[in-house]
Amino acid sequence: MSSRMLIIVDVQNDFCEGGALGVDGGVEVARKIAEQVRVHGAGYDRILVSQDWHRGDTDNGGHFAVPPAEPDFSETWPVHCVADTEGAALHPEVAALAAELGERLEIVRKGQGIPSYSVLEGMVVATGEHVAPLIAEAEWERIDVVGLAYDFCVRATAHGAAESGAPVRVLRDLTAAVHPARIPALEEELSSAGVDVIVAPGRTA
């Protein structure tokens, strides 16, 4: 039997305005995602909500820029989303949604000691399932991807899910990018990889 999945990528305090690695528009994305799930969430069989969950005692495999080195915002980054800190917590809009829906929203954590962009590299906290085989071994009618940041973790997650053979859509208005000027090229890349880039159902561009 085919199923539908929604993956909400890294909508955490550190990736929203005011956070250690805040993306312009992150707070609005959090609000829109929560609204979208309240209206359309029943249409998904599984909803995964990922968190970057880095260690605080290492540079996480070179992921954190170590002073005096400066982050290049491409491969190295300021310290962010350290496990069990406020920065790593879900943004309050998504945290409230998680409280409302309980087990319907399944938390996935990734990046514990290593760079990690794709949610497929993570593990579902409650069940211990690794996401990559969870996606590869099921027959998915559709996987929708939303969240932060569009040009890094959303991009990597969409590519990974598409490479597994699943039909994938990115709901572009439920994302925000680190480098907004690169979005047209990013969307061409995603389309070339077989990922549909659309406006979220029920919304207008």
Task: Report pLDDT for 67.
Answer: 86
Task: Give the tens place of pLDDT for each residue, 139-161.
Answer: 999 999 999 999 999 999 999 99
8-state DSSP, 85: S
Task: Report pLDDT for 131.
Answer: 97
Task: Give the tens place of pLDDT for each residue, 52-108.
Answer: 999 999 999 999 998 888 999 999 999 999 999 999 999 999 999 999 999 999 999
Residue 10: active-site member: yes
- The residue ranges of every structural domain in the chain are 3-198
Task: Give the tens place of pLDDT for each residue, 24-49.
Answer: 999 999 999 999 999 999 999 999 99
- Which is the catalytic residue, given 52, 81, 110, 151? 110
Residue 153: active-site member: yes
Task: Report pLDDT for 172.
Answer: 97
101 CB-near residues (< 8 Å, 6+ apart): 37, 41, 47
- Which is the catalytic residue, given 10, 52, 144, 151? 10
- Which is the catalytic residue, given 14, 32, 52, 153? 153
Confidence of residue 185 (pLDDT cuts 50, 70, 90): very high
User: What sections of 72-203 are H helices per DSSP?
Assistant: 92-101, 131-136, 155-163, 183-192
* Class level of CATH domain 3-198: alpha beta
Residue 110: active-site member: yes
CA nearest 29: which of 75, 90, 116?
Answer: 90
